[in-house]
Homo-oligomer: A and B are copies of this chain.
Amino acid sequence: MSSPLEDVSVGMEEEDQRPLNRALLHRSATTNASQVAMVGSNPCPIESLDYDYWTAFWVFAGCNLALLLLASSITAFLSPAAGGSGIPEVKAYLNGVDAPNIFSLRTLAVKVVGNIAAVSSSLHVGKAGPMVHTGACIAAIFGQGGSRKYGLTCRWLRYFKNDRDRRDLVTIGAGAGVAAAFRAPVGGVLFALESLSSWWRSALIWRSFFTTAVVAVVLRLFIELCGTGRCGMFGRGGLIMYDVSTVFDDLMTYHLKDIPTVILIGVTGALLGGLYNFLMIKVLRLYNAINERGGAHKLLLAATVSIVTSCCVFGLPWLAPCRPCPTTGPLSSPDGTCHALNRFRRFHCPKGHYNDLASLFLNINDDAIRNLYSTGTNDVYHPVSMVIFFVASYALGVLSYGVVAPSGLFVPIILTGATYGRLVAMLLGGRSGLDHGLVAILGSASFLGGTLRMTVSVCVIILELTNNLLLLPLVMLVLLISKTVADSFNSSIYDLILRLKGLPHLDGHAEPYMRQLAVGDVVAGPLRSFGGVEKVGNVVHTLRTTGHHAFPVVDEPPFSPAPVLYGLVLRAHLLVLLKKREFLVAPERCPKEYVAERFQAEDFDKRGSGKQDTIADVVLSPEEMEMYVDLHPFTNTSPYTVVETMSLAKALVLFREVGLRHLLVVPKACDRSPVVGILTRHDFMPEHILELHPVLLRSRWKRLRWQRGAMAKYFRSLIVWVANSG
């Protein structure tokens, strides 16, 4: 195992024969990064085994550990919101959940640097999710008018300072992130619309399209400018990342008799995907329990995972025997060695031999996927190696995501799926006439469908990744089978993570028990409201003692003959009023000119994510507390209302479809207060409703028990129980 080996050259492209330098064997940090991430670098990716393996391993593991600790520390101490992939947070934001700090400039910086470091550290994570978050960050910073704190602001951006434009910008920013990650512009649009966005509009579609078109054009531009190798590794590769349209195109055919194979792949992909989601959530709960104990624990966990990963990556290839390089056929080289291609890693083998497991582990994810997708390579890998790689990839994928660092899920899932696809093809052997590369693509598709549960966007992304339109029917079929089967077990991984994080994502469809409830059954009191002209002290007291973001304004005599609901006023606007300190001595309504002189529309712009006004910033004198403020000009006089006897399911449809934050509840009879309650997102969440009406929970469990089969029911009840007890 320690025979002296000569220099071997490992080039990035088949024709890349650079002069060699002597250096250590290492999974070079430069080649781990995506090809477009390194500007101007000229790597010398070589392996030389002058030193023994242990030293090589320590250097390897040491570099990985250092990089991951860098990623973890900046995430843990600078911006915890940058951890994970960011897609659940973006999805929640687009549903109306303003989680703090997810789009700040600091988060952006930590996300970019941290993800580069995390991926470079051989951790089994991807970059697609963090790129989505990065794109969304950039868009959100535009939407809030730049960053005043860092002096990057621009006047014309003020037109975007409203809820809807800001969410539109985040949607298209996320789409641009996917388009950039996969060089798939149409896939980016569809991903943003299918998986992230809660509301669609025609205008949003073509705006996303425009953004991803610009991404595609800029990519193409850079490819042309950097074509001659001027930019180092930046700009390498074409527009199609895993281009499988090679001279072996005729191997990409399929026939009617292959349909059962496709169905098999779809079903097993669904089972594996459902299990992946289940295990991922269990592991994330465990990691959360560890991470909650403090920064040191976070770093320790990251270090542990890094070491385990390094051991697997470096150690598992020892289990594979050395195999001779192919001497005939298109993969052979004239000199009998195959080491010029990065498909064949020599690792510890003698000259003219390669280690197939090392060829999978000691390659960057993109290259490994490209190798697995390639046609005409049925004999390159051994089934036992594939099993080992699959299990390791699956396990590392589940274990690595929860580390406190920016990490993505997509590419590891694609890689794991490709491995499992090839494995299925090998196990079927002659029974299936499909090329193993084709089955690898189908395996990726089915595993993506089984974990992420996306259909159209994954299909188009795979189409744009592989440039194989003829494969489309098979890919669609396998995606649908895997999604349908897996949906009977649990939800998609992003939805599960959303629920784990406690983000109150509101679905569009009403739960069955909501039809049995009226709005009045879930309204939680007491209701805090203001008069049309209110004493400042009351306003301050209410703002200090509650966390509500909106209050009904009720006009009482003498401003109106009988108590009547005037409208709804927002906390943010009340804070602006209080800060302006334009109070009235006596309780009376102020004329329009009074307001026009003292206030401007921009005073009430939606604040950026970093700068929220709070009641603690408001300091008033006792005299001012006794003065009055006229709320009439600042109240929304057309709030959406529902009658208290309205079905809760229908109120949810209204709340969700119109995209409300507050919904006023008015009484049915006229002899009571003109407003009896106010509904917010939390009033519609299952946890709140079932807490108020636990009898529904028991009937829901009963219903679950006899509606589903044993296995599926078990999984689902388990998730519900875990979610409720967590």
Interface residues of A (CB under 8 A from B): 185-186, 189-190, 193-194, 200-202, 205-206, 209-210, 212-213, 216-217, 219-221, 224-225, 238-240, 255-256, 455-456, 459-460, 463-464, 467, 469-470, 472-473, 476-477, 479-480, 483, 508, 562, 564, 637-638, 640-643, 645-647, 650, 653-654, 657-659, 668-670
Q: Looking across the interface, which residue of chain B has its beta carbon closest to that of A457?
A: B205
Q: Looking across the interface, which residue of chain B has its beta carbon closest to that of A658?
A: B657
Interface pair B467/A185, CB less than 8 Å apart? no
Q: Looking across the interface, which residue of chain B has its beta carbon closest to that of A659?
A: B657
Q: Which B residues lie within 8 Å of A194 (CB)?
A: 202, 205
A217-B473, A645-B638 as given contacts; A459 in contact with B209, CB under 8 Å: yes
Q: Which B residues lie within 8 Å of A190 (CB)?
A: 190, 456
The residue from B202, B221, B480, B564 contacting A206, defined by CB atoms under 8 A apart: B480
Q: In angstroms, how far is the closest chain B Cβ from the Cβ of A455?
A: 4
Q: Which B residues lie within 8 Å of A642 (CB)?
A: 641
Interface pair B456/A210, CB less than 8 Å apart? no
Q: In angstroms, how far is the closest chain B Cβ from the Cβ of A548?
A: 22
Q: Which B residues lie within 8 Å of A562 (CB)?
A: 669-670
A206-B483, A638-B646, A658-B653 as given contacts; A185 in contact with B476, CB under 8 Å: yes
- Excluding A464-B469, A638-B645, A641-B641, 9 further A-B contacts by CB distance (< 8 Å) are A185-B472, A194-B205, A206-B456, A206-B480, A206-B483, A209-B455, A213-B473, A240-B469, A654-B658
Q: In angstroms, how far is the closest chain B Cβ from the Cβ of A522?
A: 14
A476-B213, A658-B654 as given contacts; A456 in contact with B669, CB under 8 Å: no
Q: List 28 A-B contacts (CB under 8 A).
A: A186-B456, A186-B460, A200-B200, A205-B455, A205-B456, A206-B455, A209-B459, A209-B479, A210-B455, A213-B476, A216-B472, A216-B473, A217-B477, A219-B473, A221-B256, A239-B469, A239-B473, A464-B469, A464-B472, A564-B668, A564-B669, A637-B647, A640-B650, A641-B642, A653-B658, A654-B654, A654-B658, A658-B658
Q: Which B residues lie within 8 Å of A200 (CB)?
A: 193, 200
Interface pair A209/B256, CB less than 8 Å apart? no
- Distance, CA A176 to CA B420, complexed state (A): 32
Q: Looking across the interface, which residue of chain B has its beta carbon closest to that of A480?
A: B210
Q: Which B residues lie within 8 Å of A239 (CB)?
A: 469-470, 472-473
Q: Which B residues lie within 8 Å of A641 (CB)?
A: 641-643
Q: Which B residues lie within 8 Å of A455 (CB)?
A: 205-206, 209-210
Q: Which B residues lie within 8 Å of A477 (CB)?
A: 213, 217
- Distance, CA A190 to CA B564, complexed state (A): 48
- Distance, CA A483 to CA B205, complexed state (A): 13
Q: In angstroms, how far is the closest chain B Cβ from the Cβ of A115?
A: 26
Q: Which B residues lie within 8 Å of A216 (CB)?
A: 472-473, 476
Total copies of the chain: 2
- Distance, CA A646 to CA B186, complexed state (A): 40
- Distance, CA A464 to CA B459, complexed state (A): 13
Shortest beta-carbon contacts, A-B, top 6: A670-B670, A213-B476, A216-B473, A200-B200, A638-B647, A657-B657
Q: Looking across the interface, which residue of chain B has its beta carbon closest to that of A197?
A: B200
Q: Looking across the interface, which residue of chain B has its beta carbon closest to that of A215?
A: B473
- Distance, CA A658 to CA B652, complexed state (A): 10
Q: Looking across the interface, which residue of chain B has its beta carbon closest to that of A460?
A: B186
Q: Which B residues lie within 8 Å of A206 (CB)?
A: 455-456, 480, 483
Q: In angstroms, how far is the closest chain B Cβ from the Cβ of A658?
A: 5
Residue of A217, A483, A659 most packed against chain B (CB within 10 A): A217
Interface pair B476/A209, CB less than 8 Å apart? yes
Interface pair A456/B189, CB less than 8 Å apart? yes
Q: Looking across the interface, which residue of chain B has its beta carbon closest to that of A483?
A: B206
Q: In angstroms, how far is the closest chain B Cβ from the Cβ of A634?
A: 16
Q: In angstroms, how far is the closest chain B Cβ from the Cβ of A262?
A: 10
Q: Which B residues lie within 8 Å of A508 (CB)?
A: 201
Q: Which B residues lie within 8 Å of A645 (CB)?
A: 637-638
Q: In angstroms, how far is the closest chain B Cβ from the Cβ of A338?
A: 29
Q: In angstroms, how far is the closest chain B Cβ from the Cβ of A221?
A: 6
Residue of A212, A469, A480, A658 most packed against chain B (CB within 10 A): A469
- Distance, CA A509 to CA B422, complexed state (A): 50
Q: In angstroms, how far is the closest chain B Cβ from the Cβ of A541?
A: 29
A216-B472, A508-B201 as given contacts; A209 in contact with B467, CB under 8 Å: no
Q: Which B residues lie within 8 Å of A225 (CB)?
A: 256
- Distance, CA A200 to CA B455, complexed state (A): 15
- Distance, CA A33 to CA B369, complexed state (A): 44
Q: In angstroms, how far is the closest chain B Cβ from the Cβ of A191?
A: 12
Q: Which B residues lie within 8 Å of A480 (CB)?
A: 206, 209-210, 213
Q: In angstroms, how far is the closest chain B Cβ from the Cβ of A375?
A: 17
Q: Which B residues lie within 8 Å of A224 (CB)?
A: 255-256
- Distance, CA A447 to CA B270, complexed state (A): 43
Q: In angstroms, how far is the closest chain B Cβ from the Cβ of A638?
A: 4
Q: In angstroms, how far is the closest chain B Cβ from the Cβ of A689?
A: 17
Q: Which B residues lie within 8 Å of A643 (CB)?
A: 641
Q: Which B residues lie within 8 Å of A463 (CB)?
A: 186, 469
Q: Looking across the interface, which residue of chain B has its beta carbon closest to that of A670?
A: B670
- Distance, CA A565 to CA B108, complexed state (A): 54
